[in-house]
Amino acid sequence: MERPGISWVGFPPPTIGDVPQPTDLPTGDEKRTAVRSMFDAVAPRYDLVNRIMTFGLDVRWRRRTLRDLRLPPRTTVLDLASGTGDFCRELAAADIRVIGVDLSLGMLQNARTDAPLAQADVMRLPVPDASVDGVTCGFALRNFVELTPFFAELARVVRPGGRIALLEVGQPTNPLLRWGHGIYFGKVVPLIGGLLSDKAAYRYLPKSVAYLPEPDVLLGMVRDAGFADATRTLLAPGAAQLLVGTRDG
């Protein structure tokens, strides 16, 4: 049954991404299909697994993201890869008008938010040019087929002076913390996810970091797309990174 409040938007054919392409991970159309199926499968227990495997830090990271978004009440924000609605709820609590967008029907059907939701591909968002004040996106960049067109689409829909805040997994710079994070993310997280949810999905999770460009390259892509002041911040203890920027005027 369709969840009330979800709209349906046709998807464009995907292309091969411009991020590093691991030989043991899907690319292009195969990746897009696999990611959508994976998130459909994990949706019912997605929030529970997230809270456990991040020790609740994902909540703190999202609140930091919204703080750095720096948009006033009554502005309009798209939350991309909105999942079960974590960002939507936080934005609504700040009196910001939010629309959630996700490729996964399973995620949208399990969303816990009153915000309007749309199933759509982030490469072709169903909104006019310069029509929103901001965009948020949580832990999804590595799941997109191609990043350069995605950042270009953000530049298209965000008005001049509008803001973006993109939260993604990161890696600590401290060698000891990086080693420990690698063991936890590569071994413990798949075990937790396999016990509580879908084994294949949480084996993919640590591997998917390989899709992300190096930090300087990623930041340069955002700036080149039309967010010249974009900055990147590692969030303690370094397991997450935050990219924020203002649309060039």
CATH number, residue 66: 3.40.50.150
Measured between its terminal Cα atoms, the distance across the chain in Å is 43
Name residue 101's beta-bridge partners. Answer: 80, 118
Position 191 in a domain: no
Beta strands in the chain (DSSP E): 6-8, 76-80, 97-102, 117-119, 132-138, 158-169, 231-235, 240-246
**DSSP code of 185?**
I
Position 67 in a domain: yes
What is the residue range of 110's domain? 6-10+21-173+202-246
The whole-angstrom separation of Cα 200 and Cα 207 is 11
Total domains, the chain: 1
Burial pattern 155-187, b for ≥16 Cβ within 10 A else e, equals bbbbbeebbbbbbbbbbbeeeeeeeebeeebee
Q: 8, 159 in Cβ contact below 8 A?
A: no
Position 190 in a domain: no
- Do β-strands 132-138 and 117-119 pair in parallel, antiparallel, or remain unpaired? unpaired
- One digit per residue, the tens of pLDDT, for the chain of length 249 reads 334 344 444 333 332 233 344 457 899 999 999 999 999 999 999 999 989 999 999 999 999 999 999 999 999 999 999 999 999 999 999 999 999 999 999 999 999 999 999 999 999 999 999 999 999 999 999 999 999 999 999 999 999 999 999 999 999 999 999 999 899 989 999 999 989 998 888 989 889 999 999 999 999 999 999 999 999 999 988 999 999 999 999
Position 189 in a domain: no
Q: 139, 168 in Cβ contact below 8 A?
A: yes
Position 155 in a domain: yes
Report if pTM > 0.85. yes
Lookup: tokens for 2? 């369709």
Position 1 in a domain: no
Position 34 in a domain: yes
